[in-house]
Amino acid sequence: MFSKIKHGIWALGAFFMLNTTSAQEALFGAQEIKSPEIHADNSVTFRFMAPKADSVKLTGDFLPTIKIQTQFGPMDAPGPVHLSKDDKGLWSFTSQVLSPELYSYSFEVDGVKVTDPNNPFLIRDVASVTNIFIIGGGHADLYKVNDIPHGTVAKRWYDSPGLKMDRRLTVYTPPGYESSTDEYPVLYLLHGAGGDEEAWSDLGRTAQIMDNLIASGKAKPMIVVMPNGNISQDAAPGKGSDGFYKPQFMAPGTMQGSYETNFMDIVKFTESNYRVKADKAHRAIAGLSMGGFHSMHISRYHANVFDYVGLFSAAIMPRENAAGLDVYSDIDGTLQTQMDNGLELYYIAIGKTDFLFNANKEFRKKLDDMGMEYEYLETDGGHIWRNWRVYLSEFAPKLF
């Protein structure tokens, strides 16, 4: 009997030693370096330990921009800055004073892009992973987790008969949803090219924005549904049946009409599984870039479904090889029907240096010529998440 107890104690001790060793390995592998360090004046110091490196650079959306050539033409991108190296091999750089915002950054060590090993907070945008930090104050306080009631973010699967697969989406329910019997309006919030059902919740800070707006009384409690707009995917890369693979910017068939045609599968799932006010007056749809394209075409194709439409830096007209598809066959006529049915809000927002600025200008002229009313917001900057978070923060208080 004693030997069994002794053996059990030994096994228990071995278990704790194994797990303690594992934890200690994580601790011993960590660097005792603070990066980023936000100073009292809101300047920020970045540090990277690389004694054998010849060059360490920093790039981030708080740095001056340079023009780069892309498949869409010239676009603004943050230029890199060089870090300085001390005698111990610690590289550092201190920024100028930064305005309130959620910022992202990464390092480049001898030509290889790497994340900050001292900052565990990361986001993925398409296939790029970067670190993040927040400078508080002003509108950036909407992006923080504050001491207020919080909603719930769930990952759900719905059946799409039209696309012949089960598909994943993200659903935000407002604070108190689970304990109430109330019915809520719904905002369908769509991502851009290269995004997925995780983009708005991770990069867009949707839950934090909605929690803070609702708590301050600036927005009505609502459900926000964030679906995957890539019809070839059942879920975000690594979260669906295709397993782990490198995300791509434009998934096959994404802007070819099938998503618009079958969008009511998402509406039906939402209205069957959540307590919602299932009428036009309590439905909104909005999206960024490709999601703005989808929002524009879904809302006019299903011309009596949504009372609120938001186009954030939207791609507007279909590509030439999609122009003959049914969804895009009568754009002017369906826009007219949508206007005749009545809208509470048609909202367009874009940055002054966005590569889609002229396309949005032409679209606004189309709406002006047909007498369709809309609200318009023009901001500084280009095709960036910094703008899209602002647009959501401005759009949500106007709903319902």
Residues 186-230 have pLDDT tens digits of 999 999 999 999 999 999 999 999 999 999 999 999 999 999 999
The one-character DSSP state at 276 is B
Q: At what angle do helices 206-215 and 385-395 cross, to 10 degrees?
A: 30
Q: What is the three-state SS of 148-187?
A: CCCCEEEEEEEEECCCCEEEEEEEEECCCCCCCCCCECEE
Mean pLDDT taken over the chain: 90
Residues 293-341 have pLDDT tens digits of 999 999 999 999 999 999 999 999 886 667 557 899 899 999 999 999 9
CA distances from 60 to 63, 91, 107, 346, 389 (A): 6, 16, 9, 33, 17
Phi first, then psi: what are they for 350, rounded to 5°?
A: -160, 155
- Domains in the chain, ordered, with CATH? 37-136 (2.60.40.10), 146-398 (3.40.50.1820)
**Beta carbons within 10 angstroms of residue 227's beta carbon:** 29
- Each residue's pLDDT expressed in tens, for the chain with a length of 400 residues: 444 444 444 444 444 444 444 444 444 455 689 999 999 999 999 999 999 999 999 999 999 876 665 655 666 667 899 999 999 999 999 999 999 999 999 999 999 999 999 999 999 988 789 999 999 999 999 999 999 999 999 999 999 999 999 999 999 999 999 999 999 999 999 999 999 999 999 999 999 999 999 999 999 999 999 999 999 999 889 998 989 888 887 788 888 899 999 999 999 999 999 999 999 999 999 999 999 999 999 999 999 999 999 999 999 988 666 755 789 989 999 999 999 999 999 999 999 999 999 999 999 999 999 999 999 999 999 999 999 999 999 999 999 9
**Cβ atoms 262, 163 nearer than 8 A:** yes
Predicted model pTM: 0.89
